[in-house]
Chain A
Amino acid sequence: EAGVAQSPRYKIIEKRQSVAFWCNPISGHATLYWYQQILGQGPKLLIQFQNNGVVDDSQLPKDRFSAERLKGVDSTLKIQPAKLEDSAVYLCASSLESVMNTEAFFGQGTRLTVV
């Protein structure tokens, strides 16, 4: 079974530039999550999709972050414009269920450095 795929693995951009991350979840997983993990901290949930609908985006900085999951499969997360404090690893995860999330499967993440 293929795992969660993310790209790119690394990205370095200047502040005020734009960047986009891509995620392909495990086939058949209805729920997709984007987490931001700053060095030394736990993953912080940015947005959670159930199929192609958003079930939680309360911690997504909507003035600069956006995410979509067209057709309920792949997802993209965009930052525009980026700030220095956005430097972090962006993790995508997926799970079978949404109500009873027993296990999330993570991709390797995209390490973003904003300079």
Chain B
Amino acid sequence: GQSLEQPSEVTAVEGAIVQINCTYQTSGFYGLSWYQQHDGGAPTFLSYNALDGLEETGRFSSFLSRSDSYGYLLLQELQMKDSASYFCAVSGTYKYIFGTGTRLKVLA
């Protein structure tokens, strides 16, 4: 079967750095994606890792370790607008499965 685990909630202050972890079990793994979803909104794509290592896109970075079935999303210089839910998603053979989500609260 397939499963993904994320922390349910993370809290941090403005300007801080926060890391959201994701561990997964799947067959036919192709890559790990991250999505952001604000309350009442649709999930929007943030990043995709197919190979081991760190991918950086502005304030957001994503890391993947295929051997450990583990990845994380790193958010730097946190802003209030980053308060949202963050989902990891696994791309497998003919499947695209989402984790349970991590709710990030950014405090002033």
Contact = CB atoms under 8 A, between A and B. Distances in A.
Closest 6 CB pairs of A and B: A106-B42, A101-B96, A42-B98, A101-B91, A42-B101, A55-B94
Contacts of B93: 99
Contacts of A56: 94-95
Interface of A: 33, 35, 41-45, 48, 50, 55-56, 91, 93, 95, 98-109
Interface stretch (B10-18, B43-51, B57-65, B71-79): B43-51
A57 to B, nearest CB: 11
B33 interface: yes
B42 A100 contact: no
A102 B33 contact: yes
A45 B94 contact: no
B96 A33 contact: yes
B64 to A, nearest CB: 13
B48 A102 contact: yes
Contact of B94 (A42, A44, A48, A102): A48
Given A45-B98, A102-B33, A104-B89, 20 more contacts: A35-B98, A41-B100, A42-B87, A42-B98, A43-B43, A44-B98, A45-B96, A48-B96, A50-B94, A55-B94, A56-B94, A91-B42, A91-B43, A95-B96, A100-B31, A100-B50, A102-B48, A105-B45, A106-B42, A108-B41
